[in-house]
Structure 1
Amino acid sequence: MPVTVLFAAKSERWEEYEAPLRTALAEKGVTADLVTEAAPETVDYIVYAPNSGLDDFRPYTRLKAVLNLWAGVEDVVGNPTLRVPLARMVDDEGLTQGMVEWVTGHVLRHHLGMDRHILGQDGLWRTGAPPLAFDRRVTILGLGALGAACGQALARLGFPVTGWSRSPKQVEGIDCLAGPEGLDAALARADILVLLLPLTPETDTLMDAARLAQLPRGAVLINPGRGALIEDEALIAALDADHLAHATLDVFREEPLPPEHPFWPHPKITVTPHIASETRAPSAARVIAENIRRAEAGAPMLHLVDREKGY
């Protein structure tokens, strides 16, 4: 008997995902009715985007799991009507590769001082080569799949990489720290700081004025993680005081970032429109299909969210 898989996301996403999902489910041997509308009591799985408008899961009495299309689950994990397993989008090679490319590109941009030459085409001969990678310390806050992959890519380029996570982890090529004392040490050695933490009550506004002050003078902050990890006003103050040299931001508390927001005109802030990475339909479809295959076979599902941790 086929399982019913409801695709609950924006309509334009259906056009992008329909064929890859059908292909991936077939390749995994899952017989499924893949639909965008169904009687709630007939639905076995929901492929879900938090901006879909679906926020009451109580009518879905046969539901076995919700498969999030995004890596972030902060908009759904606290939903009291969701009582079935919730899986994050992890190990999507497209999502990971996109983040690695964006983070590596912007770390290298700041490391090499590329803005100085790209924007300084004014006839002045600006001398002075940048330091080599092994003289520029990079810290990554967040050692999940994305943080670990970015850290290892930078380590392969020769950067000394420190990674921090709430609980202890070991990642080859990265000096891994954990806990409050580990956070202090990780910030103190961050010539370039990359934020790739999930948004939870513990990480909301993690980078406030006190923690920004722990960064070395002249440090650069890069945030492709979650906008609410940073206290906006404190970041602007740290830049205006020349404690931080620059901030490159891809995520924001409000998106799209309003035209009147002070980040836009600030000379030490680069705004990119949440393009660091995104879920790619072909690779994400394979992750979703594998989880449905596992659930139907009675095997443990992958990438399940810990409700207490929030990710």
Structure 2
Amino acid sequence: MSVLLICTGRDPQVWVNAIREQQPNVKLYVYPEVHDPQEITFVVTWKHPKGVFNRYPNLEVIASIGAGVDHIISDPEIPKRALITRVIDEQLTKDMSTFVLALVLDKIRNVSIHHSEKKWSPLPYHTLDEENIGVMGLGVLGKAVALNLSSNGFKVSGWSKSRKHIDGVSTYHGEKGLNDFLKDTSILICLLPLTSETDSILNKELFEKLPKGAYIINVARGEHLVEHDLLEMLDKGHLSGASLDVFRTEPLPEEHPFWKHPKIHITPHIASVTDPKKVVHQLMENYMHLKNREPLKNVVELKKEY
């Protein structure tokens, strides 16, 4: 039973070091170095080449090195026999919740605007209780963000596909609950998983259901956002601005109109970044569970796509 690391677009060595430190005896290969496909039962991956898993007839587990699995399930050639797992990490959750809080505070206190406009002219700002913050997606990350904002004095609501209960947060669910959730939301935060249902959900139709002057924060996936719809609604004045950490194409091309738009604040996908040393124990624990024929942790429900 061997492990294959497929980590395109990133330096795999940090993962190799972390895996070997955690599990020195594991037989580990790094794609695309030469290896016997028959040996591979466990793949650790991020953004694999589509169709590559079909080369491995004995593959049983495909483990994402991050919280998201859309990069895996978007491949139509995933072997049906393979289980998919994801990482749930306390540090990732903390990083996301503090990052979003920073974006919200930056927005309501106009921190970035004063510098970018090079004007010594204090701008009016909202107090905490004047903002209605809405979090789309109430999974591990979304729930943590909602609770952190609530504990800092904000009025927070949340929306999810299925019913959720979070102390101190008004929750809505399903299609029927979406309109009620959006109508009073002044700052909308997207933390949805990327699925066939949520792809392009941040579009003109949704933006029009927000009150005039609403602000958008997307820290989930770039594919959630219809980019030209955002630009249109910003230019019309219906939306007051946006903070974007994720994009359909990354790195964001230099010629992209987002860079020059005065109402868009860009960060380079830094909201929460997986630390190999912090999460590798989860990956290797599942590898040992597979080896011992024990139940795996953090298995993805394919019907839900997360």
TM-score (norm 1): 0.89
Quick check: 1:146 aligned with 2:141?
yes
> How far apart, CA to CA, are the structure 2 residues paired with 1:109 and 1:297?
49
Shift of 1:14: 2.3
Match of 1:246 in 2: 241
Task: Please tell me whether the aligned partners of residues 163 and 175 of structure 1 are also in contact (alpha carbons under 8 angstroms).
Answer: yes
After superposition, where does 1:71-150 map in structure 2 within 5 Å?
A: 71-77=67-73, 78-83=75-80, 84-89=82-87, 91-124=88-121, 126=122, 128=124, 130-150=125-145
> What CA distance in whole angstroms lies between the structure 2 residues aligned with 1:227 and 1:123?
35
SS of the counterpart of 2:54?
Answer: coil
Report the aligned-residue RMSD: 2.0
Distance apart, 1:54 and its partner CA: 6.2
Structure 2 residue 18 is matched with structure 1 residue 20: yes
Q: Deviations over 1:149-199 (max 9, x none)?
A: 111111110111111111112233322211012111121121111111122
Maintained 8 Å contact 1:99/1:146: yes
Change (3 A) 1:170 1:13: farther
Alpha-carbon distance in structure 1 between the residues aligned to 2:50 and 2:214: 42
Q: How does 1:254-273 map to 2 (within 5 A)?
A: 254-273=249-268
Correspondence list, 1:1-311, <5 A: 3-10=1-8, 12-25=10-23, 31-36=25-30, 37=33, 38-50=35-47, 52-53=48-49, 55-77=51-73, 78-83=75-80, 84-89=82-87, 91-124=88-121, 126=122, 128=124, 130-311=125-306
Q: Which runs of 5+ in 1 are unaligned?
A: none
User: Following the alignment from structure 1 to structure 2, what is the Cα–Cα distance between the partners of residues 294 and 132?
Assistant: 50
| 3-state SS in 1 of match to 2:43 | strand
TM-score between both structures, scaled by the size of structure 2: 0.90
Percent identical residues: 33
Instruction: Measure the CA separation in 1 of the matches of 2:285 and 2:138.
Output: 24
Three-state SS of the structure 1 residue aligned to 2:70 is coil
Which residue identity does 1:292 align to in structure 2?
Y
Q: Are the equivalent residues in 2 in contact too, given 1:227–1:253 (CA < 8 A)?
A: yes
Task: Name the SS of the counterpart of 1:200 in structure 2.
Answer: coil
Using CA pairs under 8 Å that are at least 6 residues apart, name the structure with larger relative contact order, 1 or 2. 1
- Deviating beyond 6 angstroms after TM superposition, the runs of 4 or more aligned structure 1 residues are none
Q: Closer, same or farther in 2 for the Cα pair 1:117/1:12, shift >3 Å?
A: closer
SS in 2 for 1:5: strand
> Aligned pair in 2 of structure 1 residues 167, 115: CA closer, same or farther (>3 Å)?
same
* Structure 2: gaps of 5 or more residues: none
Cα distance in 2 for partners of 1:155, 1:62 equals 47
Q: 1:59 corresponds to which letter in structure 2?
A: R
C-alpha contact 2:50 2:77 (8 A) present in aligned 1:
no
Write out per-residue CA displacement over residues 229-259 of structure 1, whole angstroms, 9 at most, x where no aligned residue: 1221111111111111111111112222222
Equivalent residues of 1:109, 1:115 under 8 A apart: yes
C-alpha separation in 2, matches of 1:200 and 1:48: 19
Note the alpha carbon deviations across 1:187-216, whole angstroms, 9 max, x for none: 112111111112212111112211101111
- The alignment covers a number of residue pairs equal to 301
